[in-house]
Amino acid sequence: MTLKIAFVGVGNMASAIIGGLRASGYSGDAIVGSSINVEDHPRLEQRFGMTMYADNKEAVAAADVVFLCVKPNLLQSVVEEFATVVRPEQLFVSVAAGIEIGALESWLGQPVAVVRSMPNTPALVGAGMSGLIANEHTSEDQKNWVANAFDSFGSHVWIEDEAQMHTVTALSGSAPAYFFRMLEVMIEAGVAQGLDEATSRKLSTYAMKGAAAMVTELDEDIAQLRKNITSPNGTTQAALETLEEQGIQSLMTAAVDACAERSKELGKEFANK
C-alpha cells in the first residue's frame, strides 16, 4: 500500500525530500503539501505532480505520514493549529533543527509515532546525510519507511540518544559550510599563485569530491588513504606538515565543539518557549 504523505511547509529541504521520493518512484498523487505562500502552489504542483493546500489541517487530515518542514520558531503554533485532526496511527517526521521529540509529542497532543531528523543541504543534489531518532511509538516498519525516504536523496544514520543530535548537527548538518569555507580559501590561494578562478575552483572542488568518494566507496582506513599519497619529503608532506603546525587538529575540534554547544543552547531556547 502506498502511504499518503503530507508536507507542512514546502521550502528547499521539503523539495529535496519530495524530489527524492518522486525519483525513487513515489507517485505525485500520493503527496500533498501545505504552504501559506499560495503564489508558489502552481509551480510546486507542476514540478512534482502533487497537490498543494493553503490549509495545514486539510493536508494533515488525509495523510499517513506528515513531514514538518516549517521554521523551528513557527513549529509550535503550526502544530497546535492542526492538532485537532491528528490520528493515533499517523507518523510525524520533523526536519526542524533544535526541536526535541518531547516538545513535538506535547504539541501533537496524543501518543503518535515521531521521528526527528537532521538532514543537510547536499540533499538538494541527492547527496544528503541525515541523522534520525524515533520515539517509542514508532514501529520498525515506520522506521524502515523513514530510512528509505531519506535514502532517496542520500543516506542516513539512526541515533539512540537524542543528546547526540547536537553532534550530528556539528558533524553533518552544519558541516557542508566548513568545507565550503575551506574551498573558498583553496580557490583564493590558487588565484594568488596565478590560476584563473574557474580553473582553481574546478581543481579544488573535484579534489574534495574525489576524496569524499574514495572514503565512502573504498573499504580502507582514512589515515591509510592519506598515507598512500604522502611521499616522504614530497609535496603532500610539506602541505600536511604545515596544516599540523598551524593547528588543524585543535581548530577543527574547536569548530565542531562550538557548533554542538550552540545547538544545545538553541535547543534549550526552544524548550523554554
Taking alpha carbons only, the member of 47, 64, 81 closest to residue 7 is: 64
Q: Give the integer Cα–Cα distance in Å for 130 and 145.
A: 14
Question: Known binder of ligand: residue 35?
Answer: yes
Angle among Cα 78, 265, 73 to the nearest 5 degrees reads 15
**Alpha helix (H) ranges present in 152-247?**
165-168, 175-192, 197-217, 222-228, 235-245
26: its cell numbers: 513515489
Instruction: State the Cα–Cα distance between residues 143 and 140, nearest whole angstrom.
Output: 5
Burial of 33 from C-beta contacts in 10 A (0-12 / 13-18 / 19+): buried
Q: How far is 92 from 114, CA to CA, in rounded Å? A: 5
Give yes or no for a contact between 21 and 2, defined as CB atoms under 8 angstroms apart.
Answer: no
Binding-site annotation: residue ranges for NADP(+):
35
Binding-site annotation: residue ranges:
35, 56
Binding-site annotation: residue ranges for NADPH:
56
